[in-house]
Amino acid sequence: MMNEFANFLNATFTPLRVYKYAIAYFSLSGANIRAAPRKNIIVDTDIFSDVDDAAALLLAATLEDTNLLAVNVNVNSTYSAIAASAIVNHYGYPNLPIGLRRPYTNSSFFDTWKYKVGEYASKVGYHYSGGSVPWFDPEKTWDPITLYRKSLAEADDHSVSIASIGFFENLSGLLNSTSDKYSHLDGYGLVERKVKELVVMGGQYPAGHEFNFFGDNPITTAHVTVPYIKSVCSTSAQPPTPTLREISSYNQPRVTLCLRGLLAQKLAEIAGAEESF
C-alpha cells in the first residue's frame, strides 16, 4: 500500500505537472489562452553550468500555445549544444535545429568564483543523449547566425519572439548579417520584418553590473540592447531576497514572460522578477 501511494505521489507531483497546475491556477481565462494563436519562439541560451536554462528550455518546449522554432547557444562549449538538444528532445522536439557559437570547443565548466556550482551540461548531454545533436556529434549544430536567418525568413511577418537568456554574440551577429540564400534582407531588415518581440534576461534594475550584460562582451550587449528596434523588455536577473536567489531558477519567468503575456507577467512577479522598459 505504501509503495502504491509513493508511486501515486511521484506521478502526480512531477515538476511538469506541478508547473501545469500552477498555470491552471493563475489563469483567469484558460479557454481564451488555449484559443490564442501559437507563438513562434527562438531561445538564445548560455546553458552551461547550472539548471536555470534547462528549466527555461522546458517551458519553451512544453507550453501549449508555443511553437519552438530553434535554440541558439551563445557559449561555445559543445556540451552546451548537446545538452540543449537532449532537453528539447525529451520534451517533444527530436528534430529541432540547434545553433552553437563558433568557434566551438570541448570546454567544461569549473566554478572558480564561489566553488559552489557543479559542472552540468556534459552530464545531461551524455546521460540523456538525443535529438538533432546527439552525443558526441557537434558537427550537426548550425552556425547560429545562419540558423537565425533561416528560421526568421521562413516565419510569418512579425510572428517570432526571441528569448535571450545569456550573452549577445549571436544576436549581434544576426544584426550584422547581410543578404543570403534565405532572405535578401540584411540583419536589421530581417529582424524588423519578422520579430515581434525580444525579451532579454539581463541587467540590474535600476542600475549596476549583471553577468549576462558584462560577463562576455559589453560591446555586443550594447549593440543589441541600445538601438534594437523600438522596445526591449529587460527583466532583472537579481531576485529581491536571498531566499529566492537560492531556490529560484532565474531564467524560468523570463521565458514565460516572452511566451504567455499577462499571465506570464503574473508568474514573473510571483518569482520576484522586476521589469523595466
Domains and CATH numbers, the chain: 1-35 (no CATH), 37-276 (3.90.245.10)
Share of the chain above pLDDT 90, in %: 47
Whether 228 shows a pLDDT value over 80: the answer reads no
Compute the distance between CA of residue 241 and CA of residue 114 in angstroms, rounded to an integer. 19
Q: What is the reported pLDDT for 272?
A: 45
Closest CA to 162 of 44, 28, 31: 44
Task: Bin 170: left if φ > 0, else alpha if -120 < ψ < 50, else beta.
Answer: alpha
Q: What is the reported pLDDT for 89?
A: 97
What is the number of other CB atoms lying within 10 angstroms of the CB of residue 36? 11
Each residue's pLDDT tens digit, 177-202: 999 999 999 999 999 999 988 888 87
Q: What is the reported pLDDT for 34?
A: 45
With cell 528550455, the residue in question is 57
Compute the distance between CA of residue 220 and CA of residue 238 in angstroms, rounded to an integer. 21
More confident residue, 227 or 31: 227
